[in-house]
Each structure stands twice: as structure tokens, then as C-alpha cells.
Copies of this chain bind each other. A is one copy, B any other.
């Protein structure tokens, strides 16, 4: 098995960095070697010690000073500078001797996902290892009703289309919403979801069912890991998901 690369994508506050920290710790406890990458030039503190830190190449605070920009302008400018120096970053990832590479993307998802860095990075990672994947991390408290569950899966599909990397949804911070009505089993949950929508008389019920059918046809994974990165819970589920993606890569390429 070559290097397995996992890119963590998700909106601000979804707990990507904490999840990278918890997963790296878990993998190392199992004697795997892990290379962690921080891609956020504006990160203040990180819950892990990155093997490669983009801030040593581009620091948003220095960019703000140098170009006289506010925090948002500095972030956007920093992302451009990171994109220009992407090869420097990916060549280090390629050279890293590790079983797993975990890539932590910028706090603000949209400065990554909707800009060139996202697909350029993904393209480079695919070149480094065919076993490159992404997870779409969402704070479980965002899930409030059946449609939100479909939202989660649809967002993961959007990320997959953007990156060209197989992408699975992960629910984080599950400790904060102990009563979230999600079993993590897409088949079962979606069944309940579409029943609930149908009962509510929503036109989306049938659309969701049909979308589920398509998504499941091309994703044999039906489990959504329910994780608490903070408490270190559910990390094994996350790892099982990564292994499952890894097993199916032969069929997908």
C-alpha cells in the first residue's frame, strides 16, 4: 500500500484541525507514521504540531503588514501566494515517508473550495498517490432536520466534483448534540429522511430518494462517521471509512 492522503474540508468552526489532531494521534498509537500538513496561512494556534506548516512559507499576518491589507484581504492574498508556491508544498508531501498524510485546509472553506488552490492541490495529490481522498467535515449541530442530512451528502458530492477526489461526509462534534437523530447509516437514515419529507408533503422527498439512489450506486459506502474529535470518539469509524475508500480506489480510477 502506498501513501494514503486525506484532505479535510469543511466550513469554519467544523473542527477540521481538532479532527486532524485526533486522527493523527490515533494512527500513531497504532504505529502508523503520519505526516500532517497545515494549509491555513491564518491559523493562530493548532492542536497538533504540523510536519509541514504553510505559515513557514506564507504567513497571513506578514502579508497583511506587507501589503497593508485587512484580515480578509490578507487571507485572499495569502491564498494566492500559497497557490503560486504550491509545488514547494506538494514536493515535500511527495518526499515525506509516511503511511498517512493528513491535510488540514484553511479555516474558511470558501477561500479554499472556490479558488484555484483546491483543484490544483487535489490534482497534485492524485499525482503523488492514487490513494488520495477527502472528507467533508460538518458540525453535527448543523443537522436539524431530514433535509439537512441530504444537504450534508449533497455538499460532500459537490466537494468531490470540485476536487476530483472521492469524498465522504463526516459529522463532527457529535458530543455536543447527543440527541441528533442520525444513526450514521445512510440507507436507514435516508429512508427515514424521505419518509419524513413525504409525510410533510414535500416535493423534495421523491427527488431526494432518487438522488440517494444515484449517490449510493456510485458510493458503496453507506456509513457516515459520527465523531467527537475533542473527546477522541468515533475516530475508528473515520478510519474505517478511509480504508473503505482506499479499497475501492481500484474500481474508481
Q: How many copies does the complex hold?
A: 2
Size band of the interface chain A makes with B: 35 or more
Contact with B along A210-244 (1 / 0, CB 8 A): 11001001100000000000000000000000000
Q: Would B147 and A164 count as touching, CB distance under 8 A?
A: yes
Would you give the shortest CB distance from A79 to chain B, in whole angstroms? 11
Closest B residue to A218 by beta carbon equals B207
Would you give the shortest CB distance from A17 to chain B, in whole angstroms? 14
**Partner-B contacts on A (CB < 8 A):** 11-14, 70-72, 76, 107-111, 113-116, 119, 138-139, 142, 144, 147-148, 150-151, 154-155, 157-158, 161-162, 164, 203-204, 206-208, 210-211, 214, 217-218, 251-253
Q: A114-B142, A154-B158 are in contact. List 11 more A-B contacts (CB 8 A).
A: A11-B113, A14-B114, A108-B108, A119-B144, A148-B162, A151-B158, A151-B161, A154-B157, A157-B211, A203-B218, A203-B253
Counting from the closest, the 5 A-B pairs by CB-CB distance are A11-B110, A151-B161, A154-B158, A207-B218, A210-B214
